[in-house]
Amino acid sequence: MEVRVLEGRDVLRMGDLTPADVEAILGRALEHKSAHEIGREARLLEGKAVAMIFAKASTRTRVSFEVGIGQLGGTAVYLSSADLQLSRGETIEDTGGVLARYVDAIVIRTFLQADVERLARAACVPVINALTDDEHPCQTLADLLTMKERFGEIVGLGVAYVGDGNNVCASLMVGAAMMGAHVRVASPEGYEPTADMIARADAAATSGGSVTVTRDPAEAVAGADVVYADTWTSMGQEAEREKRLADLAPYQVTSQLMALASPTAAFMHCLPAHRGEEVTAEVIDGFQSIILDQAENRLHAQKALLTHLIGVPS
């Protein structure tokens, strides 16, 4: 009988998962993907409902969750800020407590990590962080799935992240180091991962994994198996756009930078991308880019996460 070690738990940060948890999620994600490809996806969420609270706009996160829940036979209830009484002053605690009486899990995409944590404390069903300003664990699960597919093993991989040490970087550092990869982050002064982010990643590093932060993108990319970039201007940072573009310009991923990586290196980007800013079109649209595999894997990784947390056996 399958041991449901993840059933009923929240995933608010990447560090809420252990290496064994991640292995279980990735293994089930591959099962979901194979079943979907041959049209034999089991309707494991039949009779289940998932609330999806979105305070931030989304393409991949919303579509992958909504479609995935539907493919598994469940009901996805999309709730924008305008749909909820939160916009009229209802507390997060009341919202979470009520929703937990209706649904089997809650997915939330918002700004403040503290809001997600308050919601989780109030709700008696699993809560999943689908992006905050601090972390993006769902993206990292898909990234790790993509690396596993591409390279067979995550242990020992060199993963270079170049650019702004943001929420995606935070979760990637923890997740990849946890699974035994060597993560090297290159960011300019003022854009590097915070001390707290680095400490979380260091604490999570197992199986020989490690985390290094440098100012030099060439140092980070040298010999890497994966080169990862993200947009330099996220939602809420539009007023800083011109300054950010200038500060981060030396960190653009170009074909010259990619040439320093392993000959078999893959380029990854969580999307949306801004060609000509954090990455050139030549790289993101080139033969080393696996961004569409990465985006597709959001679907399968999140289906696996949901079925584990809701407690549905595969």
The string of DSSP letters for 232-246 reads: SS-TT-GGGHHHHHH
Q: CA–CA separation, 229 vs 40, rounded Å?
A: 35
Q: In the annotation, is 298 catalytic? A: yes
Q: Catalytic: which of 60, 62, 136, 182?
A: 136
Catalytic annotation, pick one of 109, 182, 184, 300: 109
**181, 228 contact by CB (below 8 A):** no
Query: Per the residue annotation, which of 139, 252, 294, 302 is the catalytic one?
Result: 139
CA angle 257, 259, 260 (to 5 degrees): 75
Catalytic residue among 143, 164, 270, 294: 270
Check 60, 298, 300, 308 and give the catalytic one. Answer: 298
Residue 138 known to be catalytic = no
C-alpha 173/C-alpha 137 separation (Å) is 11
* 293 assigned to active site: no
Q: Is 237 a catalytic residue?
A: no
230 is catalytic: yes
Rounded CA separation 204/183 (Å): 12
Catalytic residue among 134, 230, 300, 308: 230
DSSP 2-52: ---TTTT--BSSGGGS-HHHHHHHHHHHHHHHHHHHTT----TTTT-EEEE
Mark whether 270 is an active-site residue: yes
Residues involved in catalysis: 109, 136, 139, 230, 270, 298
